[in-house]
Structure 1
Amino acid sequence: MNYKFWTVCMVQDGDSVLLLNRQHDNFKGYIPPGGKVKFPESFTEAAIREVKEETGLEVSNLIYKGLYEYVNPEKNDRYMIFNYITNCFTGTLLEDAPEGKPVWVQLKEVPNLPMQTSIRRRFPLFFEEGTFEIQVEWNNEKNQEGKVTIRKT
């Protein structure tokens, strides 16, 4: 079994959220800050580090919102993305960020933005009570998402 761990941290300021306008590789569109978890750091530590690296902001008081995972039974792979939200931050946004320009976006404008399916699917769940678990089974034959299971608690 091959496991890979990632984090995402939604940073909220009133009715706005901080997103990265990512325009490189196959993952173009607006995304929240996040990235790979480096061993032996915790998932929360990874989320805090990634926000700092990608936006320049120091975040604290992260609230765990849920798990988003891709499973590929044929390749025996599992990609797990731990999702957080916070409204506690300090610092100044980076002008030239490595993963895309950080921008504050009004929540009501988010549906109009280009966004990856995986981000769009879980975006509203960050702002609901409770936590979520989304599992996506990858279809190797079609090279696309297969069965999607969403659970809310």
Structure 2
Amino acid sequence: MAEFEFTNMVMIHDKSTGRVLVQERIKSWKGIAFPGGHVENGESIYDSAVREVFEETGFTVRNLIPCGFMQWYNNKTNDRYFVFFYKTHDFSGELMENSEEGRNFWVNPEDLYKLNTPGNFKEYLPIFFGDRFTEGFCSWNEETEYDMTKPNPYGIVYR
């Protein structure tokens, strides 16, 4: 039977500086990305995003705006992995510079493409920053080979 996994990712934008909060992840999916994590049983996707941000950054976020999602479909097992994307300007609390997930810090959005990000994080940015796409879809399996010299190496279909 196919398995479904639900996760979230939140872009926190500081209007006063124009910067966004990132996390240099040291556990799984190593590299620089937005905070987020897994949806727990009985938890809404929205509530999971609020909880994950607080656990990883110390910030309480409010008024999360859904900006889309990414769906990874394993065409051999029929498993699906969803990442739900949110953004907000509404946050409070004191930033934990270091958490068990990694170091948190602010960057200019245009610098995200230059940073050492995990796997496919840069492919998520058109959904976070644009208003043209709300979904990314990728069909793959463990044997899939990617041409990392191409602009869209994973063959993600944006809609």
Runs of 5+ consecutive residues of structure 1 not aligned to the other structure: none
* Equivalent in 50, 68, 73 of residue 52 of structure 2: 50
Q: Is the 8 A contact 1:134 1:150 kept in 2?
A: yes
Distance (Å, rounded) in 1 between the aligned partners of 2:115 and 2:43: 32
Percent identical among aligned pairs is 35
- The TM-score with structure 1 as length reference comes to 0.89
Instruction: Determine the structure 2 residue equivalent to 1:4.
Output: 5
Runs of 5+ consecutive residues of structure 2 not aligned to the other structure: 147-152
C-alpha distance after superposition, 1:104-151 (max 9, x if no partner) = 111122221111242101213312225510011113323668542111
Instruction: Determine the structure 1 residue equivalent to 2:150.
Output: none
Distance (Å, rounded) in 2 between the aligned partners of 1:121 and 1:146: 8
Distance (Å, rounded) in 1 between the aligned partners of 2:144 and 2:43: 35
Distance (Å, rounded) in 1 between the aligned partners of 2:109 and 2:143: 37
Instruction: Determine the structure 2 residue equivalent to 1:13.
Output: 14
Distance (Å, rounded) in 2 between the aligned partners of 1:127 and 1:147: 19
Q: Is the 8 A contact 1:16 1:107 kept in 2?
A: yes
* Equivalent in 95, 98, 101 of residue 93 of structure 1: 95
Letter of the 1:18 partner, please give it: L
Letter of the 2:72 partner, please give it: Y
Instruction: Determine the structure 2 residue equivalent to 1:72.
Output: 74
- CA distance 1:102–1:135, shift in 2 (3 Å): same
Distance (Å, rounded) in 2 between the aligned partners of 1:125 and 1:76: 24
- CA distance 1:46–1:92, shift in 2 (3 Å): same
Residue 82 (str. 1) matches residue 84 (str. 2): yes
- CA distance 1:140–1:40, shift in 2 (3 Å): same
Residues 3-152 of structure 1: matches in 2 within 5 Å?
3-14=4-15, 15-25=18-28, 27-129=29-131, 131-142=133-144, 147-151=155-159
Larger fraction in strand: 1
- CA distance 1:43–1:112, shift in 2 (3 Å): same
- The TM-score with structure 2 as length reference comes to 0.86
Count how many residue pairs are aligned between Structure 1 and Structure 2. Answer: 150
Q: Is the 8 A contact 2:133 2:158 kept in 1?
A: no
Distance (Å, rounded) in 2 between the aligned partners of 1:95 and 1:28: 17
SS of structure 2 residue aligned to 1:116: coil
